[in-house]
Structure 1
Amino acid sequence: MVHWADYMAEKIIKERGDKEEYVVESGITPSGYVHIGNFRELFTAYIVGHALRDKGKRVRHIHMWDDYDRFRKVPKNVPKEWGEYLTMPVSEVPDPWGCHDSYADHFMGIFEEEVEKLGIEVDFLRASKLYKSGEYANEIRLALKKREKIMEILNRFRDMAKQSHLPDNWQPIQIYCPKCRKEAEFVKWDGEWKVFYKCPHCGAEGETDIREGNVKLRWRVDWPMRWAHFKVDFEPAGKDHLAAGSSYDTGREIVENVFGWKAPMTLMYEFVGIKGQKGKMSGSKGNVILLSDLYEVLEPGVIRFIYARHRPNKEIKIDLGLGLLNLYDEFDRVERLYFGLEEAKNPEEAEELKRTYELSMPSLPNRLIAQAPFRFLVVLVQMPHLTGEKIIEILKEQGHVPAQLDEEDLNRTRLRIQLAKNWVEKYAPDEVKFEIQEKIPQIEISEEIREALMEVAEWFEGREKFTVDELNSIIFNAAKKRNIPSEKYFGVLYNLFIGKDRGPRLAPFLASLDKEFVIKRLRLEG
């Protein structure tokens, strides 16, 4: 099976022709926190670009920050006083938290740092700088010249949607008042570079030169203008932009009939959310999960894997609960498959999974880096007597990682230990949490179970070294020869050590505890 990114790359080459450079684009308005749903747009563009590069093509990935959009509403997490900045460019609204140059910079800065950690090469551009530098001046003047054509296209689609036509005085531009920076009203255009305005906010009126950067194209014109300006070949979009009559449909006609470029190819991407969270994430509402939140519990490669393995038109629900353990298991299995250390049940599916792994890794290793099982780390990090280095020793002793670890192996293992700690603290359900009992809890223990516990204790005492499988056998055999029901037997064992009826796999758990403590507890001493 061909990975969806490779399929799209082949389609782009076929339909756009063999070019010296292909341009892929993504874009976001920094009106609030840029969350894991927004990231899907950037990653979809990136991974298609990645596939093009793997075919020997040169690729430029533009990510457009639409920071010259108006500040439309005050989010819940922003002081109400920020209402005084409404209709100003978000790039000129002050940062409510006082740590960045502007409101937009606050959100853009966080996201750019997050993306860098994922090893994604992208050319971040800011609409505010492009407009203010006069880079779009010719296109703005062209849009004003072809205003009637643009209106005709937009009105035709409004007819299809049974909407009223645009007003006769509609313009393809909006103006920011040079004095108060809020949105001003259009008065007239002189046919060349001057636009006359009147500001309803501060009362200023006069003229501004298009090349000065106070004039901006409206969204439905701005988007297709960018396609032509940067010669974009591919840009993914959410389903709201790709619905019949939406901005992609109108943009396709505007870019061809006004700006003389063929609309880029696209892919529709679906919603990304967190399992159990109701409603759609919104940066302006503040109910968001950021890439930073995922970094606390997931390796960068695992984050990329989540997005790479799902076709864009499939919804992603990230499970930060127990499902996260399954995610790590799956990722590790695919990684072993890639390096030929595990056999695939379905050879055809295996090729797609291997390709998914290639596209997921920020930097593709040339060998399997030590995989400390995340599920077991979750157990080990809850043992107060274990430091990070002692955990690594236990992983070696039980055969989870090689006896000799180089720097790459150690870095990954230490990272996973920290991620496991974070997960236990922030997201782990109570069923996987435990505390080692300082004292023997008051529980009923039959004579048969006492004998079985004593047998296991004596076995422990007589061995300096042993394997987890050997310990597992003695635990089971001690109960089996006495016909002790498993549920009752293991219930006692778990209660003795963690005060619960169930817990982690018992043999690896006991093997990770202090030997003398285990022996004393099995003998019911102390």
Structure 2
Amino acid sequence: MTMTDLIEAARVSKAWPFQEAQRLLKRYPDGAKPDGSPILFETGYGPSGLPHIGTFQEVLRTTLVRRAFEALIGAKPEDGKTRLVAFSDDMDGLRKVPDNIPNAHILEENLHKPLSRIPDPFEKGHESFAAHNNAKLREFLDRFGFHYEFIAANDMYNSGRFDDALRQVLRKNQDILDIMLPTLREERRQTYSPILPISPTTGRVLQVPVEVVDAEAGLIRFTDEDGATVEQSALGGMSKLQWKVDWAMRWYALGVDYEMYGKDLTDSGVQSGKIVKVLGGRKPEGLIYEMFLDENGEKISKSKGNGLTIEEWLTYGSEDSLGFYIFPNPKSAKQLHVGVIPRAVDDYWQFRERLAEQPLDKQLGNPVWHLERANGGFEGSEAPGAGDSLPVTYGLLLNLVSVLGAEAERDAVWSYLGNYVENADPAAHPKLDELVSTALAYNRDFVAPHLVKRAPTETEAAALRALDDFLAKAPADMSAEDLQTEVYEIGKREEFGFENLRDWFKALYQTLLGSDQGPRMGSFIALYGIENSRKLIAEALDRA
């Protein structure tokens, strides 16, 4: 595949990252800004809490669009045609003390001060609460190999690099008020100001009316918390901006071309878009994505604690599967709970195995193509992961581990894998070995505590005896396909009265595995071993 082939295929691809990248190409038909500077992608982070899956998905999805745009213009990541900025709004005032933070009294004593000017309650040697969380963000992004530039609001405000943009906000103060005041409740209008001064006496971010005294000099006037009238500069870190104004100012100051955001910020995006136009800038391109839901279909909330953390996903699944699960249509809500992990792992590997044999247009619609390319690991000359495959499905691995019980260990699992996997050595199958560990954890925490194997009915017991009779005569090395064929044949026998094969397999799953769903039984029997499988049947018949 040549670069020309890739460009042509990318320009007609219906995959959502390419559709988003096409919007950027309409913004800059030549594939570059008029001044030759890189196309700027941005993601935002509020460091009042630690980074989470929401942070991950926004950086990942933005990266996918960034790489898709590079493909459209025939650029490589190292060409420097694009930039990705991870921006931390660490000048924001702390509104409330987050849950599960050590030394909460430190935060309580510093409420409403900028996050970057509050001592670190974690006491890890960072200069502030925000610095601690910013470090965690960078550690988190680096862990997943994202290519980005980190920018903190604290540095931009304090160094004066935002001063020119702040002067423009002061010049346009009334125009911004005209945009914002109609959107506010009457009570809020009385105190609203685009500029939030920082009190010279308490160091807090103040929500008070502000008079612009001299926009060019950056001078403002306001009433401090002690009732005194104060004139001071709004520049050099002595003020910050209201959220929607701050967002627009950032777009204007940095020249942001693309930023996506959640559905909950739809109205903010509208107002900030109007404000950046008043400032003389242009609203970035970007999509509005749907939020994650819990297993009950309710919106995930940090305060409710009904979400799923990155650490939890990686305890029970793989990094690849997390990106794969997040990839499909960002405009559709997704349930995010541990129950979706096993399917995500297996679906990822199915798409990965398929990729090498697909024509180019199908590759560009395959999530794995985008995930491999996301951080520069694949330039498009050949399909990534060619020949890669998982020798057993994660679902089958979970069934094996559940049968072995809550006390199963890694070495025991690998001894059974020797029945099914050629060269069953963890060193030869590192990806599978990772999944052995996650399967053990998943079984321990979610399967074993609730495992119930029901007793078979009379006709089910008769079918199980027939299966046992067959296995008693079968050679120990019978293939999974031959075993599967015989399982089918037994289920189709009229004497056992199954209306369809689905009922037969459901009986096998519920009586032998304690589950409503399960693997191809031929594969399971080959993996677990014929004699061990006969023991499972005997235990089920004892319950009849």
Per the normalisation by structure 2, the TM-score is 0.76
Q: Which residue of 1 aligns with 2:262?
A: 238
Which of the residues 422, 432, 449 maps onto 2:441? 422
Q: Which residue of 2 aligns with 1:142?
A: 168
**Is the Cα contact below 8 Å between 1:95 and 1:106 reproduced in 2?**
yes
- Which deviates more from structure 2 when the two are superposed, residues 281-290 or residues 212-221? 281-290
Q: Deviations over 1:231-251 (max 9, x none)?
A: 111111223433xxx333332
The answer for unaligned runs of 5 or more in structure 2 is 1-12, 76-80, 379-383
Q: Does 1:125 align with 2:147?
A: no
Which of the residues 3, 16, 20 maps onto 1:4? 16
Q: Which residue of 2 aligns with 1:469?
A: 481
* One-letter amino acid matched to 2:478: F
What is the rounded CA distance, in whole Å, between the counterparts of 2:140 and 2:239 in structure 1?
32
Helix, strand or coil: the match of 2:327?
Answer: helix
Q: Does 1:32 align with 2:57?
A: no
Helix, strand or coil: the match of 1:234?
Answer: coil
What is the rounded CA distance, in whole Å, between the counterparts of 1:286 and 1:481 in structure 2?
50
Helix, strand or coil: the match of 1:121?
Answer: coil
What is the rounded CA distance, in whole Å, between the counterparts of 1:277 and 1:97 in structure 2?
34
* One-letter amino acid matched to 2:348: F
Q: Does 1:266 align with 2:252?
A: no
Q: Which residue of 1 aligns with 2:527?
A: 512
- Which deviates more from structure 2 when the two are superposed, residues 131-140 or residues 291-300? 291-300
Per the normalisation by structure 1, the TM-score is 0.79
Q: Does 1:360 align with 2:386?
A: no
Which of the residues 60, 66, 88 maps onto 2:113? 88
**Is the Cα contact below 8 Å between 1:6 and 1:51 reproduced in 2?**
yes
1:48, CA displacement in angstroms? 1.2
Alignment CA distance shift 1:287-1:326 (3 Å): closer
Q: Does 1:182 align with 2:204?
A: yes
Alignment CA distance shift 1:467-1:100 (3 Å): farther
**Is the Cα contact below 8 Å between 1:189 and 1:195 reproduced in 2?**
yes
What is the rounded CA distance, in whole Å, between the counterparts of 1:497 and 1:419 in structure 2?
22
Q: Does 1:45 align with 2:62?
A: yes
Q: Which residue of 1 aligns with 2:276?
A: 255
What is the rounded CA distance, in whole Å, between the counterparts of 2:100 and 2:201 in structure 1?
28
**Is the Cα contact below 8 Å between 1:74 and 1:284 reproduced in 2?**
no
1:434-473 superposed matches below 5 A = 452=466, 455-456=469-470, 458-459=472-473, 463-473=475-485
What is the rounded CA distance, in whole Å, between the counterparts of 1:503 and 1:223 in structure 2?
49
**Is the Cα contact below 8 Å between 1:134 and 1:210 reproduced in 2?**
no
**Is the Cα contact below 8 Å between 1:114 and 1:291 reproduced in 2?**
no
1:429, CA displacement in angstroms? 8.5
Q: Deviations over 1:353-406 (max 9, x none)?
A: 32x22112354534232313110110222325975456456546435xx65889
1:222, CA displacement in angstroms? 1.3
What is the rounded CA distance, in whole Å, between the counterparts of 2:308 and 2:356 in structure 1?
33
Helix, strand or coil: the match of 2:26?
Answer: helix
What is the rounded CA distance, in whole Å, between the counterparts of 1:99 and 1:35 in structure 2?
20
Helix, strand or coil: the match of 1:183?
Answer: coil
Q: Which residue of 2 aligns with 1:200?
A: 225
Q: Which residue of 1 aligns with 2:344?
A: 327
Helix, strand or coil: the match of 2:311?
Answer: helix
What is the rounded CA distance, in whole Å, between the counterparts of 1:8 and 1:446 in structure 2?
54
Helix, strand or coil: the match of 2:437?
Answer: helix
Q: Which residue of 2 aligns with 1:228?
A: 252
**Is the Cα contact below 8 Å between 2:116 and 2:131 reproduced in 1?**
yes
- Which deviates more from structure 2 when the two are superposed, residues 478-487 or residues 34-43? 478-487
Alignment length (residue pairs) = 498
What is the rounded CA distance, in whole Å, between the counterparts of 2:194 and 2:456 in structure 1?
78
